[in-house]
Amino acid sequence: MQDRAIRMGLLESCSDWRLTSVGNFPLSGNISMQENHNVSLDLIADIGGTNARFALAGANRQPYAEHTLACAGFSGLAAAVASYLQETGGLRPNRAAIAVATPVTGDWIQFTNSHWSFSTKAIQQELGLEKILIINDFTALALSLPLLEAEERRTVGGGEAVAKAPIALIGPGTGLGVSGLVWSGEHWIPLQTEGGHVTFSPVDEREWAISRILQRRFGHVSPERLLSGPGLVNLYMALAELEGWPAEALTPAGITDRALAGACCHCQEVLELFCGALGTAAGNLAITLGARGGVYIGGGIVPRLGEFFDRSAFRSRFEDKGRFGSYLAAIPTWVITAANPALRGVAAALD
């Protein structure tokens, strides 16, 4: 019943929830004959620090023609969009909604973990769009949560969601995204936050020692410095320095692959540290938002960890909040297993 109530609340609110759109320019180009000429064709995208995921949305608002492109292979957004539209047969969208892995504070968009940047007004003119909407990527993912089916998430730990209570979202990928949903009394309101850049919270001597090593390197140590793809490498290098073993030049994928295969005890230790620290961060977020509606784990890393994550210290660290341990024990946590769910949230935001 909770899932159904959430889903219906978002669907009813699509026409009420608004983000600022930029400008109105005449549409140029033709719509493919595959589309009804009376139906608006929209371009939707979810752009992270590593990958750009594109799709189209028609009358039923369901994403289709999904393609994922590597950001490193393109000079910027316009070049990637041109490549995607060419792949889809030269379709010309009327509108676009784009989720970006960076704060959205004005016309100029500069990605936090990518070389991409663009002017919203300029990209709208260049692509010949009637309307363009730019939102944070985790705001888009938050909007998708009520649209997920039960089989598109995996439960970790106990607890039961309270209907219409705030919902939290956190997810390690190229960076660390944080968002959530708050019930207005009529519909769900997504939160636009940069919670991945607060201050990291160590809980024991080893984490304090790792934090000091990272502080020498970065100055301020945010959770993203540990809970992200680059964060896995930071953890690996810091642990090597702390324990005195020789570090190899490993990628985030190399660390997780070795850990999951049981091929490297150091990589396993890094991944255990990662899961535990994520539990602490998720618990902090749940208390901050009063997220009795549950906590979702998104991003590109955790869904790959499978049973390793389920057996890790994540849930025990999530609940390890002293006097608030029982409060957190009642809150469910889920790993999002759906493919590219943020695209659904982007499509909902555009309406």
State phi, psi for 166 to the nearest 5 degrees.
-55, 150
| Neighbour tally for 7: CB within 10 Å | 16
| 2 inside domain | no
Residues 312 and 180 in one domain: yes
Residues 237 and 206 in one domain: yes
Q: CA neighbours within 13 Å on the CB side: how many for 154?
A: 13
Q: Which two tokens stand for residue 32?
A: 């493919």
| 7 inside domain | no
**pLDDT higher than 50, residue 333:** yes
Per-residue model confidence as pLDDT tens digits over 149-177: 999 999 999 999 999 999 999 999 999 99
Confidence (pLDDT) at 192 = 87
| 1 inside domain | no
Helix axes 205-218, 229-243, angle to 10 degrees: 110
Could you tell me the CATH number of the domain that includes residue 182? 3.40.367.20
Residues 176 and 323 in one domain: yes
Q: Minimum mean pLDDT among 9-13, 266-270, 334-338: which range?
A: 9-13
- Which residues are 108's β-sheet partners? 119
Per-residue model confidence as pLDDT tens digits over 90-132: 778 989 999 998 889 999 999 888 889 999 999 999 999 999 9
| 260 inside domain | yes
Residues 42 and 127 in one domain: yes
Per-residue model confidence as pLDDT tens digits over 9-31: 444 433 333 333 322 222 223 33
Residues 233 and 90 in one domain: no
How many Å apart are CA 336 and CA 153, to the nearest integer?
4
Is residue 136 within 8 Å of residue 308, measured between CB atoms? no
**pLDDT higher than 70, residue 37:** no
Per-residue model confidence as pLDDT tens digits over 228-264: 999 999 999 999 999 999 999 999 999 999 999 999 9
Is residue 281 within 8 Å of residue 223, measured between CB atoms? yes
Residues 193 and 328 in one domain: yes
| 321 inside domain | yes
Higher pLDDT, 61 or 76: 76
Confidence (pLDDT) at 351 = 76
Residues 85 and 101 in one domain: yes
Residues 226 and 123 in one domain: no
Per-residue model confidence as pLDDT tens digits over 286-317: 999 999 999 999 999 999 999 999 999 999 99
Residues 65 and 47 in one domain: yes
Confidence (pLDDT) at 152 = 97
Is residue 212 within 8 Å of residue 201, measured between CB atoms? no
Query: How do the residues of the chain divide into helix, strand and coil, expressed in percent and rounded to 5?
Result: 45, 20, 40
| 222 inside domain | yes
Could you tell me the CATH number of the domain that includes residue 126? 3.30.420.40
Confidence (pLDDT) at 24 = 26
Confidence (pLDDT) at 92 = 85
Residues spanned by the domain of 85: 13-142+341-350
Q: pLDDT band at 35, cuts 50/70/90?
A: very low
Q: Which residues contact 44 (CB under 8 A, 6 or more apart)?
A: 54, 55, 56, 57, 63, 96, 97, 98, 343, 346, 347, 350
Residue 317's SS3 state is helix
Q: Which two tokens stand for residue 130?
A: 């009637």
Residues 307 and 224 in one domain: yes
Q: Which residues contact 282 (CB under 8 A, 6 or more apart)?
A: 168, 170, 295, 297, 314, 318, 333
Tell which residue, 254, 229, 21, has the closest CA to residue 112: 229
| 186 inside domain | yes
| 168 inside domain | yes
Residues 201 and 130 in one domain: no
Is residue 91 within 8 Å of residue 29, measured between CB atoms? no
Mean pLDDT of the chain: 88
Residues 237 and 107 in one domain: no
When divided into structural domains, the chain yields a total of 2
What CA–CA distances, in Å, run from 259 to 253, 270, 271, 304? 10, 8, 7, 12
